[in-house]
Structure 1
Amino acid sequence: MRRDLFTPDHDEFRTLVRDFVHARIVPEYPAWEKAGIMPREIFTEMGDLGLLGFALPEQYGGAGMRDYRYNVVLQEEAARALVTLGTVRTQLDVILPYFLEYADEAQRARWFPGLAAGRLLTAIAMTEPGTGSDLAGMRTTAIRDGDDYLLNGAKTFITGGANADLVIVVARTSTDPDNRRAGLTLLVVEDGMPGFTRGRMLEKMGCKVQDTMELAFDNVRVPQANRLGEEGRAFGYLGHNLPQERMTVAVGSVAQARAAIAATVDYVKQRKAFGTPVASFQNTKFELAAMSAEVEAAQAMADRAVRELIDGELSAADAARVKLFCTEVQGRVVDRCLQLFGGYGYMMEYPIARLYTDARVARIYAGTSEVMKLLIARDLGL
């Protein structure tokens, strides 16, 4: 169906992204999956092309365009090529907004040029063993010591943790027995700070090219100059960016579901069973037709929400609705597509197997489907 979300500038950017993905990412992607990480030089190349700095101010090497549609294009073109850019997506869509909103002038001068150039890589450390979606329950602490904070704790499931030069750590700087959400602070830990160590690379079911780490902090001395925003205000900061984070997951889910359908249509036209193409069977036609209708509905919902996000009008509840619907559609579509591949769909040499394993986490990270339902129910007055 016709989409009216993008302008000619976005279309031109799409061509640039598509060419880069096919030239530099698709040929090397299998090797990156085996290694479990994207090489740093890819970020540098993306920075040189201006793919990482479009939201950053021009004086720091960016394009000065805080338009989320460019992020959407990047995801859609990766999905079209049957690859994912999870670590890039996390840096641009999840982490960069914190720097843009809360970095002071000195911090901008220190970090923004490297972020725009792809020479400073980032991660955000929220999740702790045993806390999951309960951000208010985190136990990592940062105690004032003169002009510094002494940071202690452990984080897990940290995307991009292996390559990160800057890690935004959410830590508890004070405790209020009447308000669990108060007293959280954002601190930027830099690579090489004494006491900051990276643990094991976690072996995941899917998203193999997206490095995921455990991080530990043992009396890491973090200067106050590395604090993002005000002390004790982090819970509000995190909530402010959650709608975009959840939209990022939803956009990727729709794009990957659409890619799964395209790959399946190609396959069933070529694959024969009982002497005839699988595409000629009524069940195949009906399954793909139903999936196509679902994806178009999800696309319309996501596009509308992207517009509201750009206009600053997307509510937390509506972002939850979009994430819930789009990720559930992705799960159903990719599963049914894999079924049409038959036994070959279970083989990792076929892209549908990767799309299947990659899809499962979409209903978990950035808030589980169950958390999304709680937010929606609360919006309904329940």
Structure 2
Amino acid sequence: MSFSIPEAQPIDLGPQYRAVRARAASAAARFTADAVAIRAYTIEHGAVRPDVWQAFRETGCLGSAFDGPEGAGLLGAALVLEAFAERGIVLWMPVLSIAIARAIDRAGPQAARTAWLPGVASGSVHLAMAATEPESGHNLFAARTEIRAQGDDFSVSGRKRISSGVDLAERVLVLGRTDGGHTTVLVDPRSPGVTVTEVPMRYREGVRQYQLDFEDVVVPAEAVVGTPGQGMRVLWTFAAVERILTAALCTGSATYALDHAVAHAKSRVVTGSTPIGAHQAIAHPLARLHARAAAVRLLVWQAAAGHDAERGQDAAGAAEAAKVLASDLAFDCADHAVQVLGAEAWDERNGWLDHYLDARLSRSGPVSNEFALNHLAERVLGLPAHR
């Protein structure tokens, strides 16, 4: 069961995108009953369950997200991630891999494109991100990690926290300060000098979370993404893509919660013979959330299409707006589903507590809603910045 979202939208999905969405929904439907077990498998084995990952790879969204106008682009990837999340299968690593691959594709150099894009496109490679730090959080300009030129190589020293899914990743994109700016490099987390420490967060986003300590970690020059000293240009592309795909996961998760709450409200009888969904105290919040979901979904699609069309600052603003509204929607839907489901939601075997906490985390990460609102206030509305 899934909601029927109105087909009228400000962007025309067209037959190509409708087909992408239909294929993804069909693939994900095979695993609906296993959603809790699929999440547990990733945590226990450090890999996405093979049959699920194969079905996801076959959608083609990994490669088409950055293969130019002939592919389905970022919108196609958003549709696929959303469709899987609607079935309770939230795949976080593709968000990071696609966002980093898209940044590599835009910023280069060609050696990095050749080394990493085919693996991401085929699904044989996962990439992770290490940008935030304990002292500065999402203020990346205040990062203390240093990336220094060392002959023909570079040396990385510093601490990053929180980094998701490092145990699944072949490389981690690390942002650090360098002479005259910032630089981004791809680091093998198994390299000498890297200490990987798990942070006990009860496996938020369905993956393990880590702190990374770098002590004079040597990386070759070909590990640089973009141009030394201009790493923030890499991060701008990464951040916009990450925001949009996170929003797609959130809208899918919101629908998953709504579907279950509606089904329960239709069947659950507490007094008399009337299901609880007949009461407006139950029905109206669900109806309002359904209306919000329809609107937010369209914004997410529009933000993805705008990024594919290279609309610059307009696309960046849309990405931030989509992330804020979709994460708020996901949390409100999860929260109300817990209220409607009652004791069923608190039975840990059903996975609802994880769904609820993941939805709550989406308002704080991968960027806090406050930082996203700062961008909208300053860059879109032109309001004065607090310095």
TM-score class normalised by the smaller sequence:
0.7 to 0.9
Matched, 1:32 2:60: no
**TM-score, normalised by the number of residues in structure 2:** 0.86
Shift of 1:35: 2.1
Partners of 2:93 and 2:127 within 8 A in 1: no
Matched, 1:326 2:326: yes
Instruction: Note closer, same or farther for the CA distance 1:82–1:8 as it changes in structure 2 (3 Å cut).
Output: same
Structure 1 CA distance, aligned partners of 2:42 and 2:53? 16
Structure 1 CA distance, aligned partners of 2:125 and 2:42? 22
Instruction: Note closer, same or farther for the CA distance 1:246–1:109 as it changes in structure 2 (3 Å cut).
Output: closer
CA-to-aligned-CA distance 1:141-171 (integer Å, 9 cap, x gap): 1221110111111212112211211111111
Shift of 1:99: 1.7
Task: Name 1:13's counterpart in structure 2.
Answer: 20
Task: Name 1:109's counterpart in structure 2.
Answer: 114
Shift of 1:255: 2.1
Matched, 1:83 2:89: yes
Structure 1 CA distance, aligned partners of 2:22 and 2:202? 32
* 1:132 maps to which of 133, 137, 141: 137
Matched, 1:295 2:293: yes
| Deviates further, 358-367 or 317-326 | 317-326
Letter in 2 for 1:32: Y
Instruction: Note closer, same or farther for the CA distance 1:151–1:66 as it changes in structure 2 (3 Å cut).
Output: farther
Matched, 1:221 2:226: no
CA-to-aligned-CA distance 1:197-238 (integer Å, 9 cap, x gap): 3222x3325635222222222221111121111111012321
Q: Following superposition of structure 1 onto structure 2, how do residues 188-199 of structure 1 map, counting pairs within 5 Å?
A: 188-199=186-197
Task: Name 1:177's counterpart in structure 2.
Answer: none
Q: Say which SS state the counterpart of residue 198 (structure 1) adopts.
A: strand
Shift of 1:16: 3.5
CA-to-aligned-CA distance 1:295-317 (integer Å, 9 cap, x gap): 22222333333332222223433
Instruction: Note closer, same or farther for the CA distance 1:323–1:116 as it changes in structure 2 (3 Å cut).
Output: closer
Structure 1 CA distance, aligned partners of 2:212 and 2:53? 22
Task: Name 2:171's counterpart in structure 1.
Answer: 166
Matched, 1:311 2:297: no
* 1:54 maps to which of 58, 64, 67: 64
Shift of 1:26: 5.4
Instruction: Note closer, same or farther for the CA distance 1:55–1:83 as it changes in structure 2 (3 Å cut).
Output: closer
Structure 1 CA distance, aligned partners of 2:80 and 2:71? 15
| Deviates further, 362-371 or 208-217 | 208-217
Q: Say which SS state the counterpart of residue 242 (structure 2) adopts.
A: helix
Matched, 1:254 2:251: yes
Matched, 1:268 2:253: no
Structure 2 CA distance, aligned partners of 1:342 and 1:376? 37
Task: Name 1:179's counterpart in structure 2.
Answer: none
Letter in 2 for 1:80: E
Partners of 1:161 and 1:215 within 8 A in 2: no
Matched, 1:71 2:77: yes
Shift of 1:122: 0.9
The runs of 5 or more residues in structure 2 that have no matched partner are 1-5
Shift of 1:30: 4.9
Instruction: Note closer, same or farther for the CA distance 1:192–1:368 as it changes in structure 2 (3 Å cut).
Output: closer
| Deviates further, 10-19 or 124-133 | 10-19
CA-to-aligned-CA distance 1:235-287 (integer Å, 9 cap, x gap): 23212443322222222222221221111111111211013321222322222
Matched length: 369
CA-to-aligned-CA distance 1:170-198 (integer Å, 9 cap, x gap): 11112xxxxxxx51101111354322332
**TM-score, normalised by the number of residues in structure 1:** 0.87
Partners of 2:153 and 2:218 within 8 A in 1: yes
Task: Name 1:178's counterpart in structure 2.
Answer: none
Partners of 1:263 and 1:352 within 8 A in 2: no
Letter in 2 for 1:38: A
Shift of 1:354: 3.2
Partners of 1:52 and 1:118 within 8 A in 2: yes
Residue identity over aligned pairs, in percent, reads 23
Partners of 1:128 and 1:138 within 8 A in 2: yes
